[in-house]
Structure 1
Amino acid sequence: MCRQLVAIIVHLFFVVLSFDSLAAAATSESSQPNIVLIVADDLGWNCVGYHNQQYQTPNIDRIVSEGVELNRFYVAPMCSPTRAGLMTGRYPIRFGCARSVIPPYRDFGLPVSELTLPERLADLGYQNRGTFGKWHLGHRRAKWHPLNQGFTHFHGHYNGAIDYFQLTREGVRDWHVNDQPSDQQGYSTRLIAEAASEWIAESASADSPYFCYVPFNAPHGPLQAPEETIANFARANQDRVSAKRRTNNKKLATLKAMILEMDEGIGRILQTVEESGESDNTLVWFLSDNGGVGSLPKLNKPLRGSKLTVYEGGIRVPACVRWPSKFPAGGRNDRVCGYIDVMPTLVDAASGSITVVPGRPIDGISLLASLESSEANSTASTKDDRPWYSYHGQSSEDEEYLAVTADGWKLTVVGPRLIAERQLQEDHHRIELFQLASDPYETTNVASQHPSRVEELGRMLIQHRALQPLDGVPTYEVGREGFIPPPNWQLDFSQPDALVGSYKNESE
């Protein structure tokens, strides 16, 4: 009897070991995280609660407190280039996506030859890859559609700056589910969050991890929000202030309402992640695509500048990342990083590696090791460990904006296109040199005191500007006159390279 009891105990012991082994194997197989990448549109440095309590962003603040704040996170000075860099891990100047955004009339998009983040995640077993919100990477040929760039589901709008209630651009409906126009009605920010949340709930039950990309159009103009939300920020006693100030106060109240609506949408997404039971192994990354606009005051304070500039206020943005099972809560990372690092980091988190194609270097690096380590819990040196470039020439080649940060120094140059034959010239360019390590708000131009540093960094900018291909995106106004949008901004998926939209006959 004793022997039988011992045998039973031994058998049970090995059964438990077997279950433990199976559980460990299952954990290993499921170690790839779900990924939720959330992008705000034109959200300034000073427009989040953890920087400024006048703005209500409890859910963004929660990602910061439960994850890692990326204190020196940089992006492009405007929308489309940042999105292109997020998708590729490459400076968008390399493939012509840096000079300008992609406006409604533009026949241009993210080149299909570029390897995108969802395409790489597909190779790593991510079967469900959805995007919800503003695409802004090409909309006049089906080959640029999200479904042809690696995503398996799309719900949102192709263009930027849509009407939040009418869901239109250029007076034409721009709202779609996959490749078809949708007659869905509502406030776009709420619709985006709702669609993303429902998709996450469905995808969480699949056998593979999912990738959910949520590029909100908020708080980009036009300034529109539900009146009941605006009322939360309306100022009393407006009768005694000037008409100009009253208008400005209404704009700020609307902006704050738009940000709150977006934050509540983020809260809904986070709640869905938690309800799925997979929160611990879901990586949530939040960032803004560029700084706040310059037409409203103090959106980027104390940083200098705004969207469409290469000062810190235009390119340094709120950003944070949470992965409960991997990243320490409440950390802050002060190393220079940014939008081109998102793809390498997420691919690394998914247990993959970046495939380097000859002639197509990856500019970004994986931040995974530093986010996992104790480095994220300490204030690291502000000295840069690699050069960081910013560029746009949206208006013309007569007025281009460039900047490079290296070894704690930052050179900004505004003026005619930089070419090797035309070096930096003070009578042609506005040249400013800042020592960011001691002057993070760019208050003191020390270019005249350090000519050799200006020359060194200037050469680097000339080399970077030379990367722009001849067939890159044109300046903003080119092709605007006479453009007629296609009905419902609908694409022809039977002919992926067919152009939609037309122009008026100027002779009529």
Structure 2
Amino acid sequence: MTNTWLRCLLSILLGVSLSLATASATRPHIIFILADDLGWDDVGYHGSVMKTPYIDALAAEGVTLENYYMPSLCTPSRSVLLTGRYEIHTGLQHGTILMMQPLCLPLDEITLPQKLKEEGYDTHMVGKWHLGFYRKECLPNNRGFDSFLGFYQAMGDHFYHNISASPGHFNGFDFRRNNDVVADQYAGKYSTHPLFLYLSFQAVHTPLQVPSRYAELYNDLIPNDEDRRIYAGMVTCMDEAVGYVTTVLKQSALWENSVVIFSTVRGGKGTLYEGGVRGVGFVTSPLLHEQVRGTINHELIHISDWFPTLTRLAGGDLMGGGRLDGYNQWETISQGTPSLRTEILLNIDPLYTAVRNLRDDPWAESTCFNVSMRAAIRVGDWKLITGGAGNGSWIPPTESGIAALHPERRNGRSVQLYNVHVDPYERMDYSHERPDIAEELLQRLGHYYRTSVPPNFPQQEVRSADPANYGGVWSPWA
């Protein structure tokens, strides 16, 4: 880690400390760490060969969330985190925001940092935005963050921070401090090293890149898969950065009044099976009740719950915005009380419909929900999936020596029903054996669909968005 990054983090954290001290001595510092594309088995405390000692230690002294869900793609996950609203209610339920798409998180949505600023908080962000940048109004500094150090796009080069819309075409630089391009200062510095209160890591998203010393840690553990070694190195490098966060907090005496949240943005990309929507999450804080420290929480938690949970923890109210889909889960996390939610909508995407022969499908004529649409919901221990759910293969780590399993295509079966408590790998489909439960969950999907807004997914504006128009830098164009 460079001294530049460490000084940046220290100045931010110490500045926040002074600001909060004048506002209220009881309001905690909030550090939200978001890892991108980290899989369920890619942390040491879940039995992985990945070396994550800092993450493991934080999880061990906090509360691990083992029934923690989020959307299956980058943009929807971030939108839900910052608004507390399902993606079906913001129009971001179909895919991620593309590089040249005139689209961003709707400007009338109230964001989490805006709510925290109402309570006197300084709000800062480092890392990946991916909520749209085609207009200046869409940028982090205009959505509630006092400062921003990072990048607007999805998957730029981890070292040099350039990204192309397609190989050899529309290449541009993407790294800024607030609205200013900082090519000279940060080019060549690995993007997982900066640290912050809302620390939205680029790691472990593609492209697979890491300083060689991290990948070399896995030469013996993962001998026959270079990509896997690089990925593992990215995980360990990110873990090291997480360690710097807690070190700075403790050295600056902020720790005793801090809440650290670690969350992944799904592992398996674009699938509604558990590998795509169930993530790694934990909360560590001296403010947790002693009896829950070091425990595993099996209650249902969704990424939308952070908005109301952290707003209320900061002393704010939840009035004045749109209807929230999240719940204040602080008592569930800090005291072990039952979750306030019994169900989680995992998405409804009407732009993705499965083309299948449904002639013999008993659910094809369902009156409560169009089962050709890609959708999923969990209610209690049951999970229902409709339409094309995405890749359902089980892909074990290469170092395990276990062969991948590729289930047969479910032709003529538009509805799948699983008990994910006893069958987390979703091998046993109960849709024919328990039509009563399937019907109940279809009705819930129908309820949510009636509350949804149409997906907003416009065509890309290639000529207007071309970074060549802006000195080779990805920039707002509208």
Q: Does 1:280 align with 2:275?
A: no
Q: What is the correspondence of 1:254-269 to structure 2 with a 5 Å cutoff?
A: 254-269=230-245
For the structure 1 residues 345 and 49, does the alpha-carbon distance in structure 2 shift closer, same or farther, using more than 3 Å as the test?
Answer: same
Contact 2:173-2:474 at 8 Å conserved across structures: no
Cα distance between partner residues in 2 of 1:406 and 1:234: 43
Letter in 2 for 1:158: Y
Between 50-59 and 462-471, report the one with greater CA deviation: 462-471
Contact 1:163-1:169 at 8 Å conserved across structures: yes
**Matching residue of 1:79:** 74
Cα distance between partner residues in 1 of 2:336 and 2:308: 20
**Matching residue of 2:146:** 152
Letter in 2 for 1:165: F
For the structure 1 residues 398 and 430, does the alpha-carbon distance in structure 2 shift closer, same or farther, using more than 3 Å as the test?
Answer: closer
Cα deviation 1:216-255 (Å, max 9, x = unaligned) = 01000111111121111124996xxxxxxx4xx1011000
Q: Does 1:136 align with 2:164?
A: no
Unaligned 5+ runs, structure 2: 1-20, 165-170, 356-372, 390-409
Unaligned 5+ runs, structure 1: 1-25, 197-211, 239-245, 292-305, 417-425, 493-497, 500-508
Cα deviation 1:349-381 (Å, max 9, x = unaligned) = 112221154xx2111011111222154xxxx79
For the structure 1 residues 330 and 46, does the alpha-carbon distance in structure 2 shift closer, same or farther, using more than 3 Å as the test?
Answer: same
Cα deviation 1:277-320 (Å, max 9, x = unaligned) = 010111110010112xxxxxxxxxxxxxx221111111111100
Cα distance between partner residues in 2 of 1:188 and 1:142: 26
Letter in 2 for 1:188: Y
**Matching residue of 1:124:** 119
Given the two structures, how large is their TM-score scaled by the length of structure 2?
0.80
Contact 1:288-1:318 at 8 Å conserved across structures: yes
**Matching residue of 1:16:** none
For the structure 1 residues 164 and 213, does the alpha-carbon distance in structure 2 shift closer, same or farther, using more than 3 Å as the test?
Answer: same
Q: Quote the offset at 1:465 in angstroms.
A: 3.3
Q: Does 1:479 align with 2:468?
A: no
**Matching residue of 1:57:** 52
**Matching residue of 2:436:** 452
Cα distance between partner residues in 1 of 2:237 and 2:246: 14
Cα deviation 1:28-80 (Å, max 9, x = unaligned) = 93110001000000000000010024011111112211211111110001111
Contact 1:356-1:362 at 8 Å conserved across structures: no
**Matching residue of 1:186:** 188
Letter in 1 for 2:377: V
Cα distance between partner residues in 1 of 2:286 and 2:436: 46
Cα distance between partner residues in 1 of 2:350 and 2:182: 32
For the structure 1 residues 224 and 393, does the alpha-carbon distance in structure 2 shift closer, same or farther, using more than 3 Å as the test?
Answer: farther
**Matching residue of 1:13:** none
Aligned alpha-carbon RMSD (Å): 2.5
**Matching residue of 2:216:** 231
**Matching residue of 2:369:** none
Contact 2:36-2:205 at 8 Å conserved across structures: yes
Cα distance between partner residues in 2 of 1:363 and 1:156: 28
Q: Does 1:431 align with 2:415?
A: yes
Cα distance between partner residues in 1 of 2:133 and 2:143: 12
Between 344-353 and 386-395, report the one with greater CA deviation: 386-395
Contact 2:88-2:455 at 8 Å conserved across structures: no
Q: 1:47 aligns with which of 39, 42, 64?
A: 42
**Matching residue of 1:174:** 174
Contact 1:67-1:327 at 8 Å conserved across structures: no
For the structure 1 residues 218 and 190, does the alpha-carbon distance in structure 2 shift closer, same or farther, using more than 3 Å as the test?
Answer: closer
Q: What is the correspondence of 1:319-468 to structure 2 with a 5 Å cutoff?
A: 319-328=281-290, 329-357=293-321, 360-375=322-337, 385-391=341-347, 393=349, 396-398=352-354, 400-415=373-388, 430-468=414-452
Letter in 2 for 1:289: V
Letter in 2 for 1:225: V
**Matching residue of 2:9:** none
Q: Quote the offset at 1:470 in angstroms.
A: 3.1
SS at match of 1:448: coil
Cα deviation 1:326-361 (Å, max 9, x = unaligned) = 34320221110110001111111112221154xx21
Cα deviation 1:122-171 (Å, max 9, x = unaligned) = 11110x21100000001111111000000000000000111111201112
Q: Quote the offset at 1:398 in angstroms.
A: 4.6
Contact 1:100-1:393 at 8 Å conserved across structures: no
**Matching residue of 1:106:** 101
Cα distance between partner residues in 2 of 1:39 and 1:236: 26
Q: Quote the offset at 1:456 in angstroms.
A: 1.9
Q: Quote the offset at 1:438 in angstroms.
A: 2.5
Between 38-47 and 405-414, report the one with greater CA deviation: 405-414
Cα distance between partner residues in 2 of 1:104 and 1:392: 23
Aligned length: 408
Instruction: Give percent identity, aligned residues only.
Output: 29
Contact 1:68-1:327 at 8 Å conserved across structures: no
For the structure 1 residues 229 and 431, does the alpha-carbon distance in structure 2 shift closer, same or farther, using more than 3 Å as the test?
Answer: same
Cα distance between partner residues in 2 of 1:169 and 1:346: 34
Q: Does 1:220 align with 2:182?
A: no
Contact 2:193-2:238 at 8 Å conserved across structures: no
Cα distance between partner residues in 1 of 2:124 and 2:74: 20
Contact 2:40-2:46 at 8 Å conserved across structures: yes
SS at match of 1:154: strand
Cα distance between partner residues in 2 of 1:67 and 1:315: 22
Q: 1:29 aligns with which of 6, 24, 33?
A: 24
Letter in 1 for 2:332: S
Contact 1:327-1:372 at 8 Å conserved across structures: yes
SS at match of 2:123: strand
